[in-house]
Amino acid sequence: MSKPKREPVKLVPVPSVNIIPERDVDKTPILEVSHLGIDFGGLTAVDDFNMAIGRTEIAGLIGPNGAGKTTVFNLLTKVYHPTRGTIMLDGRDTGGMNTIQVNKMGIARTFQNIRLFKDLTVLDNVLIGLHNEMDYHLGGAILRFPAYWKAERIAKQRALELLSIFDMQDMAGNLAGSLPYGAQRRLEIVRALGTNPALLLLDEPAAGMNPSETSELMENIQKIRDTFQIAIMLIEHDMNLVMGICEGICVLNYGKVIAKGTAEEIQDNPKVIEAYLGKKKEEN
């Protein structure tokens, strides 16, 4: 499979061993995680996790099954509260916040096992994502004040616009549960975009997709980054996707970061080969 065309990004190392695209260097990183860790009873799921993501970076988080990748996402979105460490979002500490507050501050996510509102229409799914973008209050909704009509009209337009990224505006009236698998994954991304994030977390966006769908997804992820100017962090097992679009990659094994760098650096890193890619090579 050919790698999608994109402008080469110059990567420069920053003091905290992270790699950030040059265009983002002088700006505050959107996400700065230091010494993040969580214990479940006696089990340390994630330990001493450090990472910084530039404002418009596409970052990858890879690692073998059970390495703690989704746990990192759950920590970032406060589904779990970290035992140790700090998460700085856009220079602000998210300690003590909950999922909702973190979402309002700008982290949106998708789920590994799709979590759509299955019995609602595609449009309603996106409108729920746009919930906090509308501001009319309860009384205004029940009595149908002009503010209601205005906000709903704008939100609907916005929802259709967002759906058109994936060319899904014609499916707006369908039930989300009736969509094919790939479309459900795309809808989840659209719903997440509706919350107007600064950082989008994608948990295995290409899982269950065929190669042509995956390459389309790669283009779309870049398109999203370019149009919305947001940072995207993704967990993925599809190496073509990760190596193709991720500017910085972080490899996790047994809850610990074993390597960080660009795609080339990761591919050549003996630790990574040992933990992860090495196995694959032997199989091949």
Q: How many residues bind other proteins (CB under 8 A)?
A: 45
Within 264-283, which residues bind other proteins (CB under 8 A)?
none
Considering only CA atoms, which of 4, 35, 59, 73 is closest in space to residue 251? 59
Q: Please list the helix, strand and coil fractions of the chain in percent, rounded to the nearest 5, in that order.
A: 40, 25, 35
For 3, the 3-state DSSP assignment is coil
Please report whether residue 254 would count as binding other proteins according to CB under 8 A.
no
Please report whether residue 205 would count as binding other proteins according to CB under 8 A.
no
Alpha helices in 84-145 (DSSP H): 99-105, 122-129, 138-142
Q: Report the interhelical angle of 211-228 vs 181-194 (nearest 10°).
A: 10
How far is 112 from 100, CA to CA, in rounded Å? 19
Within 1-40, which residues bind other proteins (CB under 8 A)?
none
Q: Would you say 27 or 153 has its CB closer to other proteins?
A: 153
Please report whether residue 111 would count as binding other proteins according to CB under 8 A.
yes
Locate 95 and state its tokens: 């300690």
> Which of these segments, 107-115, 219-227, 247-255, 258-266, binds other proteins (CB under 8 A)?
107-115
Q: Would you say 43 or 142 has its CB closer to other proteins?
A: 142
From 141, 198, 207, 239, residue interacting with other proteins (rule: CB under 8 A): 141
Alpha helices in the chain (DSSP H): 69-76, 99-105, 122-129, 138-142, 146-165, 181-194, 211-228, 239-245, 263-268, 270-272, 278-283
Distance of CA 91 to CAs 23, 27, 29, Å? 18, 10, 7
Please report whether residue 96 would count as binding other proteins according to CB under 8 A.
no
Please report whether residue 69 would count as binding other proteins according to CB under 8 A.
no
From 9, 14, 79, 165, residue interacting with other proteins (rule: CB under 8 A): 79
From 45, 87, 89, 108, residue interacting with other proteins (rule: CB under 8 A): 108
List residues binding other proteins (CB under 8 A): 77, 79, 99-100, 103-104, 108-109, 111, 115-121, 123-124, 127-132, 134, 136, 138, 141-144, 148-149, 151-152, 155, 170-174, 191-192, 194-195
